[in-house]
């Protein structure tokens, strides 16, 4: 004897009301073919009326297919540990959805080797994943890659930096311009009219240099917009080893002794901190990203502010929205700008990266 505790909703109920079998209901739900226009309409109407929402549990359970998502981000090098955070985000998301029939394949490339990026994209495409999470450091190569994805109808989500007009499912990351703008806003509180500000870009040409340029652009725009004198000096350092950096910095400081604020446009601020500490001057130092090294210098009082954009969350969110999209075809925000967080010595210990 079957006890029917059946809800008043669900495919069964729809089928009952429409006087058809659940299979037919299923067909219109997934608009597969094999249903006459007439019955299709009838069923659709009932679905509407009942405001039917499928039971996600049952859906995933019954659907035998396991989804595969590939992730491609830089490996964290000994030069910067920045990419540890996104990796953690990926791993957290992985842990949460693996029990739901999703497999996450992680791929990495060397930020200094374009070829490694291209290689990995090839391997990924061969594996034919259902979705891709991508940190597109190399712009041109990424464009090529994402075009192929679109051909193959593989949805992809970008994190950390955007490729405009490339039809990604979503971009999740910073608004670089505004984060620079914010940096300048902070600086404006901290400087008098005589003080000079030094902008430091540390990056090999090969990196996604535009990242830094966007920030600098925002930074300068602030002073322009507020009609403030921008006593700004700028230095581009193209060798990312400690020695070159210190060498170049000391040159700048010899030539300018009225620098009050130093604004470093990326996470390599800790090396600058190292230099400034040895300099012994009382400067204000602003940089980017919640890295152990940086926090260390902030706790010591060498770094004053860090601007940060939750890299771990970016990756986590990216994977999750990919999952939501693939598993339940739920809508995804096309652009999700991360909040621009300001870290100081006094709130960094509460920060969630």
Partner DNA sequence: ACTATATTCGGGTACGTTAACGTATATAAA
Partner DNA sequence: TTTATATACGTTAACGTACCCGAATATAGT
Residue nearer to DNA on the CB measure, 15 or 73: 15
- Residue 73's Cβ-side half-sphere holds a number of Cα atoms within 13 Å equal to 30
Size of the site for DNA (CB under 7 A): 38
Residue 103, interface with DNA (CB under 7 A)? no
> Contact 197/232 with Cβ under 8 angstroms?
yes
Residue 308, interface with DNA (CB under 7 A)? no
Which of 53, 227, 243, 334 lies at the binding interface for a second copy (CB under 8 A)? 53
Q: In what order do the strands lie in the sheet with 102-109?
A: 102-109, 67-74, 131-134, 156-159, 170-173, 335-337
Q: Which stretch binds DNA (CB under 7 A): 1-9, 141-149, 269-277, 305-313?
A: 1-9
Size of the site for a second copy (CB under 8 A): 35
Residue 59, interface with DNA (CB under 7 A)? yes
Distance separating the N- and C-terminal Cα atoms of the chain: 55
Residue 347, interface with a second copy (CB under 8 A)? yes
* Total residues found in the chain within this entry: 353
Which among 305, 238, 307, 297 has a CA at the least distance from the CA of 272?
Answer: 297
Q: Which stretch binds DNA (CB under 7 A): 22-30, 148-156, 273-281, 331-339?
A: 22-30
Rg (the chain; Cα; Å): 26
Residue 262, interface with a second copy (CB under 8 A)? no
Q: Which stretch binds DNA (CB under 7 A): 34-42, 74-82, 118-126, 312-320?
A: 34-42
Element (H, E) at 46: helix 37-50
Residue 62, interface with DNA (CB under 7 A)? yes
Question: β-strand 305-308 against 341-343: which pairing, if any?
Answer: antiparallel
Shortest distance in whole angstroms from residue 261 CB to a second copy: 11
Residue 35, interface with DNA (CB under 7 A)? yes
Q: Which stretch binds a second copy (CB under 8 A): 15-23, 54-62, 104-112, 134-142?
A: 54-62
DSSP at 242: H
Which residues in 126-144 are b (16+ Cβ under 10 Å) and which e?
A: eeebbbbbbbbbbeebbee
Shortest distance in whole angstroms from residue 156 CB to DNA: 23
Q: State how far the Cα of 260 lies from the Cα of 140, in Å rounded to an integer.
A: 38
Residue 8, interface with a second copy (CB under 8 A)? no
Residue 48, interface with a second copy (CB under 8 A)? no
Residue nearer to DNA on the CB measure, 61 or 113: 61
Residue 40, interface with DNA (CB under 7 A)? yes
Residue nearer to a second copy on the CB measure, 42 or 317: 317
**Which are the contacts of 43, defined by CB distance < 8 A and separation ≥ 6?**
14, 18, 20, 24, 25, 28, 35
Residue 10, interface with DNA (CB under 7 A)? yes
Which of 151, 189, 192, 243 lies at the binding interface for a second copy (CB under 8 A)? 189
In 145-184, where do the E strands start and end?
A: 156-159, 170-173
Q: State how far the Cα of 71 lies from the Cα of 109, in Å rounded to an integer.
A: 11
Residue 153, interface with a second copy (CB under 8 A)? no
Shortest distance in whole angstroms from residue 273 CB to DNA: 51
State the DSSP string of 58-82.
HHHHH--PPEEEEEEEEPP-SS--T
- Residue 128's Cβ-side half-sphere holds a number of Cα atoms within 13 Å equal to 2
SS3 (DSSP) at 180: helix
Q: State how far the Cα of 318 lies from the Cα of 289, in Å rounded to an integer.
A: 19
Residue nearer to a second copy on the CB measure, 36 or 99: 99
Binding residues for DNA (CB under 7 A): 1-7, 10-12, 19-24, 26-27, 29-30, 33-40, 52, 54-55, 58-59, 61-65
Binding residues for a second copy (CB under 8 A): 5, 53, 55-58, 60-61, 64, 99-100, 175, 178-179, 181-182, 185-186, 189-190, 222, 304, 337-342, 344-347, 350-352
């Amino acid at each position: 004897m079957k006890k029917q505790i059946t809800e008043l909703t669900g495919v069964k109920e729809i089928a009952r009301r429409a006087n058809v079998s659940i299979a037919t209901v299923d067909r219109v739900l997934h608009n597969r073919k094999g249903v006459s226009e007439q019955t299709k309409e009838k069923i659709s109407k009932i679905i509407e009326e009942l405001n039917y929402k499928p039971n996600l549990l049952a859906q995933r359970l019954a659907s035998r297919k396991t989804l595969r998502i590939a992730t491609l981000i830089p490996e964290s090098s000994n030069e910067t540990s920045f990419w540890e955070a996104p990796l953690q985000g990926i791993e957290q998301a992985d842990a949460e959805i693996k029990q739901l029939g999703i497999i996450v394949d992680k791929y990495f490339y060397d930020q200094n080797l374009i070829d490694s990026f291209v290689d990995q994209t090839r391997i990924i495409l061969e594996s034919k994943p259902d979705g891709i999470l991508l940190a597109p450091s190399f712009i041109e190569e990424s464009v090529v890659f994402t075009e192929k994805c679109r051909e193959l109808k593989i949805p992809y989500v970008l994190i950390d930096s955007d490729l405009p007009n490339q039809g990604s499912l979503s971009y999740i990351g910073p608004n670089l311009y505004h984060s620079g703008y914010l940096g300048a806003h902070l600086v404006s509180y901290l400087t008098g009219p005589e003080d000079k500000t030094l902008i430091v870009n540390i990056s090999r040409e090969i990196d996604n240099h535009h990242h830094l340029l966007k920030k600098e652009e925002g930074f300068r725009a602030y002073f322009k917009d507020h009609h403030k004198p921008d006593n700004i000096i700028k230095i581009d350092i193209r060798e990312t080893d400690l020695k070159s950096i210190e060498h170049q910095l000391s040159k700048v400081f010899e030539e300018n002794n009225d620098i009050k604020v130093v604004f470093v446009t990326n996470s390599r601020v800790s090396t600058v901190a190292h230099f400034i500490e040895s300099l012994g001057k009382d400067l204000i130092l602003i940089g980017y990203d919640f890295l152990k090294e940086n926090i260390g210098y902030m706790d010591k009082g060498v770094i004053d502010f860090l601007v940060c954009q939750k890299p771990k969350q970016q990756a986590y969110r990216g994977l999750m929205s990919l999952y939501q999209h693939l598993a339940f075809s739920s809508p995804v925000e096309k652009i999700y700008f991360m909040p621009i967080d300001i870290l100081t010595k006094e709130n960094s210990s509460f920060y969630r990266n």
